[in-house]
Chains A and B, each alone.
Chain A
């Protein structure tokens, strides 16, 4: 396919702006400067020692950074120029679903009638919020094919641990003490870490030569001590687990539960529902599938939806519609308790609901279709440049491998990823999943245009073409970003995690 018109999406290397080292706010600080302006209250002043007692009062001020408002604006604006983002350009970071975040959803969350509400205000005074949360729960259940959900978990990993505690509560209610949870060797690292915190042992099952769960190995690992299995489907190599019904039957026959890691839900919304595949517990990453902005590493939101037999164990209290049409907080009958200080990352939840409402059932299905279309197009487009790890149709992400490139030129997957920054694109995820050698995991998402995909493909072709003659240049890429390759080993060896540890002169 010939893509014409201007290529889009290049932004990682911005000439000029963002290339100067920025002083820290502490280096910019001048004692005595202040930007703060507080309300005139008319409240009488009193001494702290009189109010709380001298033993509690600090004998010196805690030093912050003292800046004028103008310096504050300059500092953080210049820092922002040293930062890549979805708004700036394509961000095909596999497994992270870095799609465009609609500004409308941010505007919804900026409404003071939502974000100016205290979480401890009584239900009678916060009916709008409770209605919103109940509506979102219903829609997330419709999307996943489940019965009920908790909106409390603040991120995917929090959802995983919540799900494992639900698994534990379910088995305990049946008087069963099961100690192991199975995860495939292709799983995200959060899965085994959550299993440990859930009080379980990890049993790893291998993938087969097709990149899928080895059903026979799984059957061999199952037993009366297995609490369940955690699966991502499509899995982390971007492939759909076609034997999912057989996997579900095997796990259920052994008395175990199926946990769905929703990291890759974007591939299947409106096409397949986890509930219909036999899953009992599902977490969703709203900051992935439902486009809430990731904030440079959070906030996210990781609601957990469950099948009917697990609903009574969900965290609570939950926003619930009462018989008279009003809403109240109700704890499920055998709730495992709270997993968040309040009601979850409410503003993230509101954004996700706005996104769902704009798209509707039909629009969400198109999202999945276009995400899979873009990934497959990119995989096919690059087939002669960087082959796919598994030569078959992928879902929303394409896992390519630089094994032969490395063998022929010495240029590694990491070099390709870093060189892409110079070409104006964010890197793909590298060296994950662990079962693929020299993995480069591209997730273009549905919101990138064909022109951007073509520009990305051409950039990769150009890097690979240069590998034979300019390997050394690529080993040291990127060259045109705000900083070049950073010395990670030095950071770990000489830990400087604060300005004070740096002890600047």
Chain B
């Protein structure tokens, strides 16, 4: 029996006396007995913190793939980047961690200004003029982009490259059941989107990935032109680390950028909480989902920040709101601003470049192994896909025994028949971050050689 309640028994009795009640149960006397729970919850009695810590230590020990026990080459939208002590320390300050949504700006300038700085960073990375205060993750950010496109064009046909992460496409399909959007997934050949294979003429949105989930960096000119021809929005689902060195979504002419912000200071965390990045052109600002922080002044003329354009939001607009988003991922957004402040202009570029150098080194060495071939002949940045002689899941299991998480099996992300790949079973997706050393890369090559022999 443990809890965090401050009341002494005597205080509880005094408070009940004040209310003219005999017991805590009497507080609920007006609830019909027919629906009252008798006998209490079917959950064991409470434990002390150390006892619960022991249970959780057991969960941790059963995670063979934990970072301390395995070298990570898995990516597919979740990357093992450096998060330095200073970012952890600042991002875990309880003023940021234990605040609510900044509804009272007079006592929330800390979070509000940090979000303003985050919005600026996302805007610069995306090459688009405005960003929101965050969404749940990359996948749900994509859904919001589709909803924006539906609202902007009054159309429902969403043309999505199957180079977009399979989970993101799956999420888009799920929510299309409610919005009535038609989700059209465009096949890849040699890792490139075959835009000409579908009718894009009445597209509400054309969605391209940059790079795509197989790691390929595609030329987006054709997709941009098709979106213009159709009068739909051009959405780029991008890797924000790649945005440190590659052309931005804005450079490619995107109307909307969505991305997964996890690489900026958020641990792998078994997939969440992550950070949905969202930026767009000023044309679409009234359709922007979620919160936006704007600069203003207080009654004494001092610079202040406040959530703005609130008339778009659910608590004001109700059934006519641009989105139902309320709680988002503010703490991850604040953390991303801190991490990007730590990296700085040169650090961001260094990280992206080092990821690419490691990936290209590993690509060259692994594709020299007999029985291993590249899925695509196209350029890539920090991630690539290999076709093996065996199911990728089996190779991952073999290499895990030597302490290496070899990557993510494409078959773990998408089903057979997915338009992105012909034969999915043997495809392994490998990511390299700035943390991986040459020694680790060389060891990987030898393990893979054994695993496919």
Contact = CB atoms under 8 A, between A and B. Distances in A.
Contact of A447 (B5, B180, B300, B321): B5
A364 B67 CA distance: 34
Contact of A343 (B28, B57, B272): B272
Give 6 closest A-B pairs by Cβ, nearest first: A342-B271, A113-B60, A83-B110, A295-B331, A116-B67, A119-B271
A184 interface: no
Interface string A32-71: 0111111111111110100111011110011111110100
Contacts, number: 741
A41 B434 contact: yes
B401 to A, nearest CB: 10
Contact of B105 (A269, A374, A483): A483
27 contacts: A1-B17, A22-B109, A36-B342, A38-B350, A41-B438, A65-B117, A84-B95, A113-B60, A114-B66, A157-B325, A168-B177, A197-B179, A199-B178, A245-B34, A245-B35, A295-B96, A297-B100, A336-B174, A341-B260, A358-B46, A360-B2, A361-B41, A363-B46, A447-B5, A481-B107, A487-B296, A500-B123
Interface residues on B, range: 35 or more
Interface string A216-243: 0000000000000000000000001010
A125 B354 CA distance: 28
Greatest chain A CB density within 10 A among B165, B170, B173, B413 is at B170
B65 A21 contact: no
Contacts of B14: 1, 450
A76 B96 CA distance: 10
A84 B319 CA distance: 31
Interface residues on A, range: 35 or more
B90 to A, nearest CB: 4
B273 A51 contact: no
B31 A294 contact: no
B175 A34 contact: no
Nearest to A448: B6
B328 to A, nearest CB: 4
Contacts of A426: 104, 107
B331 A298 contact: yes
Contact of A83 (B111, B293, B309): B111
Given A363-B3, A484-B300, A341 B59 contact: no
B270 to A, nearest CB: 4
B161 interface: no
Interface string B38-63: 00111111111100110111111111
Interface stretch (B201-209, B223-231, B243-251, B369-377): B243-251
B437 A369 contact: no
B264 to A, nearest CB: 11
Contacts of A354: 52, 56
Given A80-B110, A131-B59, A199-B177, A497 B116 contact: yes
Nearest to B325: A157
Interface string A12-35: 100000100110111000010111
A242 to B, nearest CB: 6
Given A64-B124, A85-B94, A340 B139 contact: yes
A64 B343 contact: yes
Nearest to A50: B360
Contact of A495 (B173, B179, B180, B308): B308
Contacts of A131: 59, 62
A486 B245 contact: no
A483 to B, nearest CB: 4
B56 A111 contact: yes
Nearest to A68: B344
B53 A115 contact: no
Given A63-B345, A299-B332, A372 B27 contact: yes
B343 A483 contact: no
A495 B292 CA distance: 10
A174 interface: no
A118 interface: yes
A341 B107 contact: no
A296 B96 contact: yes
Contacts of B341: 25, 35, 64-65, 67, 72, 75-76
